[in-house]
Structure 1
């Protein structure tokens, strides 16, 4: 078998393979013989038909199957012979070939980059330091009251913070358009979850009013047929509602899982929760800084095929999150999250994955099974009485375990890199730390 390699630039390679004619013919013969053993041909007993007749009937199909199997079986041989390290699946292109002649094909693929790690002894990290205070607990209680607020109708003009109930019909050039009308739509003013022009036009209105609002759709609006276009909405404002924060009385506190229903126990639970969140946020900040430093110190080419796979994976994850709020099919997801929008982050993720793998190899790190068990316990602890069932579920699900082991291994890499890092502490406001962590999540 003849094998040659073409460098197509960067990490792209073209592997040209030629399989000798005798090997091809032998594979075809084997196929025809196996078919002939069971073929029912008029005038002949099974397995007794002449070779010529078998070839006339089954030769083309046998050759097609033999060629497919030869390509699949010889590709790994050719890769090993060429001493290349492919990243991802190849694109196979068959060359034209004659009957009884050699078979040639070309496999195009990316290879993994050669990495020489640098800068591992120059990593610098600012470790955030934040303390949970009584004021932080007070702020959390206010957020809980707001998150559980009720709405009461009022007879006055609407203002930011109110919720309005409206019927509306939108028209462009006098024609109603799809998705431009609704009945009993609830809109909370000031949250900027609706069209800005529409929200502004709903402020200062009283229940029972009917009016028109001129709206211009943003240029980057998700529906391309509406982006940048002016529209007129006929609106009936049916109700104005005022927010009433929840009362943190004994019944409400019990509903939050605090058995004794006291504010003291609620505050203690909030403090514990905030302290755990602070711990996770600090770990995330340190980890992010460490991996960013590793990435910045080691600029590497990444296989485009791996970037494409990562883009698809990121889009699927986004679709799962979006499906909790609205139905989104794959085509809509591609419009909302085109490749170009995801490419930079996907490229960085792939590069970090390759660099982490190189650190594991260079440092001869092995997965710590005790840390895996600790991680399972940590995940399960958030499920209360169901913790044991969750642990069993993880342990019996290879895919979940693989993901969890990857997380543990990544943390082991970070811990190893931190051994030689310069770490300084930085006093940080609690909200700043937690908000940064939530945005990263």
Structure 2
């Protein structure tokens, strides 16, 4: 059957499909016979319902299903024969009655666009570099020390000292308090607690609450007004002023471990002491820096690719990506324990710009990979997995974990593919090398 594909626009196409209803007669008879075996009707045993009743009950449904299936089959045969690069599923629109001798469908579909790859030599990207100094290692160790902080009562002598002669609560101290809050003389929900502990200066409590606690000693009590912000998460008290009474149970000063061989051992460094610990910290910082630099460069390369390549974006692919992004956002809300996240309205329209950008970039990468033979090889995938696994205690187990799941392998393959594109792009474009400090690097977007 000769068919003509109509061009309806940039990527929109239409084709009319025709076939004889008689071609479906055998399939229709078989489908109705199968349904008749399980159909129930008053006065008849299962499987003994007359054909006329089966026809009346299911005839139109079977016609509808078979005709759509046949139209879909013809469409994909045509797409394969004509080597049509489909951007998504076709929309089948029936143009004839179910009982017509000749069944006619219009199939509307989108084709993949032609991608015009731009001139990479006109692009300019920045590649950052940094050195890990002793100061960066010291700062990293200080973070590790803070993670092992423990507290002692102020004024009580112990192996780590007494925290000084001043036993009043200071910034950085942990306080344990009882408190009760009242609005217009009435206690409110969530406004009372016993043995409540927090660290002054961490911002966990409202500033007025922390300010009232500073300078108090164990056993002291204080009453003070506190104004809740208008946007406070507790709607019942937002914008209102409460009177709080706090009683300090204890004031504890923070003691951080000394950087010595015992501290190194607590971090799992069984040999080599402080020197080995510092070497391992530097190795981790070097690895983190490398990933950060690669991520920044890759992000800039992808932005440049999106801006210098030209193509029309298939609407069907954008719609599909919007749905995927909305569902991803919903799953994120569910994982964070947001109430009613499963039923929360998430308009797909809010992801329109992001979806267009992602679809564009995906099509550009796909075309570029084919043109320049940049697909990830098995050796590259293995090397990436080995590098990631090396940071764990049991690398072999991590390698098995990656190879045991096709989706994990696909994620690594995509990562390597992007690296290949980045390397190819930077081999053509102008790359500006820029040295920054570790702190500056961490703040770059």
Q: TM-score, normalised on structure 2? A: 0.76
- 1:289 corresponds in structure 2 to 300
Q: CA deviation at 1:240?
A: 3.7
- 2:159 corresponds in structure 1 to none
The one of 352, 364, 372 aligned to 1:355: 364
| Post-superposition CA distance 1:291-343 (Å, at most 9, x none) | 121122236546332331442364267458xx4xx5335618958x8767765
- 2:288 corresponds in structure 1 to 277
Mapped to 2, the partners of 1:405 and 1:264 lie a distance apart of: 37
Mapped to 2, the partners of 1:226 and 1:15 lie a distance apart of: 61
Mapped to 2, the partners of 1:235 and 1:46 lie a distance apart of: 77
> Which shifted more, 9-18 or 62-71?
9-18
User: Secondary structure at the residue paired with 1:121?
Assistant: helix
Structure whose CA Rg is larger: 2
User: Secondary structure at the residue paired with 1:258?
Assistant: coil
The one of 53, 56, 64 aligned to 1:56: 53
- 1:411 corresponds in structure 2 to 419
**Kept in 2: contact 1:87–1:112 (CA 8 A):** yes
Q: CA deviation at 1:373?
A: 0.9
Change (3 A) 1:206 1:46: closer
2:389 pairs with 1:392: no
- 2:321 corresponds in structure 1 to 307
Mapped to 2, the partners of 1:282 and 1:42 lie a distance apart of: 74
- 2:72 corresponds in structure 1 to 75
> Which shifted more, 276-285 or 95-104?
95-104
Change (3 A) 1:373 1:73: farther
User: What is the aligned-residue RMSD (CA, Å)?
Assistant: 4.5
Mapped to 2, the partners of 1:199 and 1:106 lie a distance apart of: 70
Change (3 A) 1:389 1:57: same
> Which shifted more, 100-109 or 279-288?
100-109
Gaps of 5+ in 2: 155-165
Q: CA deviation at 1:206?
A: 4.8
Mapped to 1, the partners of 2:310 and 2:238 lie a distance apart of: 40
| Post-superposition CA distance 1:60-98 (Å, at most 9, x none) | 335424533543553364366477655456777888955
- 2:160 corresponds in structure 1 to none
- 1:264 corresponds in structure 2 to 275
Mapped to 2, the partners of 1:286 and 1:267 lie a distance apart of: 28
Q: TM-score, normalised on structure 1? A: 0.76
Change (3 A) 1:43 1:211: closer
* Residues paired across the two proteins, number: 425
Q: CA deviation at 1:420?
A: 0.5
User: Secondary structure at the residue paired with 2:294?
Assistant: helix
| Post-superposition CA distance 1:140-172 (Å, at most 9, x none) | 222222222112343755444333444556677
